Amino acid sequence: MSSIEIERANEPNAKRFLAAIELSESEARVYDRAFEVIPQYVPWPKAYGGDSVAQAAAAALATVGEDRELHSMHSSFLRPVEVGEPVRYEVELLRDGRGYSTRHVRGYQQEKVVFLTTASFQVPENGPEYAPTMPDAPDPDSLPSSAEYIDGRGLGDSAAGDYWARGRSFDMRHIPGPVYFEIEGEQRPHQAIWVRSFSELPADRRTQQLALTYVCDYTILEPSLRAIGAPWSTEGLVTASLDHSMWFHRPARADEWVLYAQESAGVQGGRALNTGRFFSRSGELIATVAQEGMIRLP
């Protein structure tokens, strides 16, 4: 049994996320700076898309000063990423102005481009504020965890069930209910999820921000799956992330509960567009996500 397979049996914690963003600098072959990292275990042939988003963000962050904060990313998933094979992120330093910096990042695996993103950074400044209101949601402590939901149905022994329950570094509690094996709740194009890391994370703002970039991809296709009545376990279902944008509005801790409110903007042509907003437990808007993904049914 490989070390990756053994890791699947670990108790719930945030180690997988922290390992995913543990980049080592290497020699740049194409652009200005380069970093390498190993994608984390998933019980499927291709790596989790949030690995790529968070790793590219970490690579870009490593090239800007502490006076700047990541405020947006615009990304494309180009090829499936193999689990356990190193990915090299090459960072092009496009611009450093007085208030903003721009980085372009390309991820390479086996010398093929698998992921790319353009990241923008800002020196924080004051200005007028407006934000939408957080939707009403039951308290997270009143909802079952993924592990409680899956183990209560005797489904935790499968590779997928174990991964959904304990293997993703984050505790996720669905409203109105999960879409792992069936559509819990109404077949409607929106849902919300309370999210926090299983264990405490380093308190620095960049690690907390990277945690949001990492977790955002797990469930963003689910409003569309819910709308068309196709849970993750649907036989023959094939999904993939295509492109992704994320905007960061203010700092927040990802090891404390945040609400991820999501909605499907439409499903057509084998593609689904979904949007999401992260709110702090006190109701502040933290980040906004838009992602298009492939959804194929037999």
| DSSP summary character for residue 115 | E
Average pLDDT, stretch 217-236?
Answer: 96
pLDDT band at residue 132 using 50, 70 and 90 as cut-offs: very high
- Whether the predicted pLDDT of 193 surpasses 50: yes
Burial class (CB in 10 A: 0-12, 13-18, 19+), 80: middle
How far is the C-alpha of 184 from the C-alpha of 182, rounded, in Å? 6
**According to the model, what pLDDT value does residue 224 have?**
98
How far is the C-alpha of 295 from the C-alpha of 179, rounded, in Å? 15
Given a contact cutoff of 8 angstroms between Cβ atoms, the answer to whether 118 and 74 are in contact is: yes
Determine what percent of the chain is predicted with pLDDT higher than 90. Answer: 86
How far is the C-alpha of 135 from the C-alpha of 180, rounded, in Å? 23
E strands within the chain?
A: 24-26, 33-37, 69-77, 87-96, 100-109, 112-122, 170-175, 190-197, 238-248, 258-268, 271-280, 285-296
pLDDT band at residue 155 using 50, 70 and 90 as cut-offs: low
DSSP code string of 130-165: --PPPPP---GGGS--HHHHHHTTT-TTSHHHHHHH
| Predicted confidence (pLDDT) per residue in 158-188, tens digit | 788 888 888 899 999 999 999 998 998 889 9
- Whether the predicted pLDDT of 7 surpasses 60: no
Average pLDDT, stretch 72-83?
Answer: 97
Average pLDDT, stretch 195-209?
Answer: 97
Average pLDDT, stretch 234-257?
Answer: 96
pLDDT band at residue 9 using 50, 70 and 90 as cut-offs: very low
State the pTM of this model: 0.93
**According to the model, what pLDDT value does residue 1 have?**
28
**According to the model, what pLDDT value does residue 248 have?**
98
